[in-house]
Amino acid sequence: MITDPGQHLFTRARSVVSRIAGGKTLIVPVRAKVGDLASIYSFSGAGSLIWQLLEAPRTLPELVSAVEREYNLGTDEAHRDVTRFVHEMFSVGLVEVCPRVAITATEATPHALWETADTR
């Protein structure tokens, strides 16, 4: 169970592959380098939109806002639906929680960015 999901960044799990086919998003979990064809997930509509947005880390409020705009839903309805969908995807391993990375103003100086780039 995710506590306070509004404070987390969510992204697609690394252990899945996905494709869009026939207007639906198909997701296949990969276990031991092999696609688990017994566990294929299919999304359309808002589910496909959320999956597309999760290509980059997003907060729950960002996802709610996108669904609200795209489908002209009220905030409460969008929040309830997106929260339930993200929780279900998390519980079956399709979505992961990303750590938030905070930097201080001194770490964000151009000099510090160059030093970081040189150490890679």
Domain residue ranges in the chain: 5-118
* Other CB atoms within 10 Å distance of the CB of residue 63: 22
Instruction: Tell me which fold the domain 5-118 belongs to.
Output: Outer Surface Protein A; domain 3 (3.90.930)
* Other CB atoms within 10 Å distance of the CB of residue 116: 11
Instruction: Decide which of 119 and 43 is more confident.
Output: 43
pLDDT averaged over the chain? Answer: 80
Q: What is the pTM of this model?
A: 0.73
SS3 helix, strand, coil % of the chain, rounded to 5?
45, 25, 30
| 59's tokens | 């907060």
Asked if the model's pLDDT at residue 44 lies above 70, the reply is yes
Banded model confidence at residue 109, pLDDT cuts 50, 70, 90:
very low
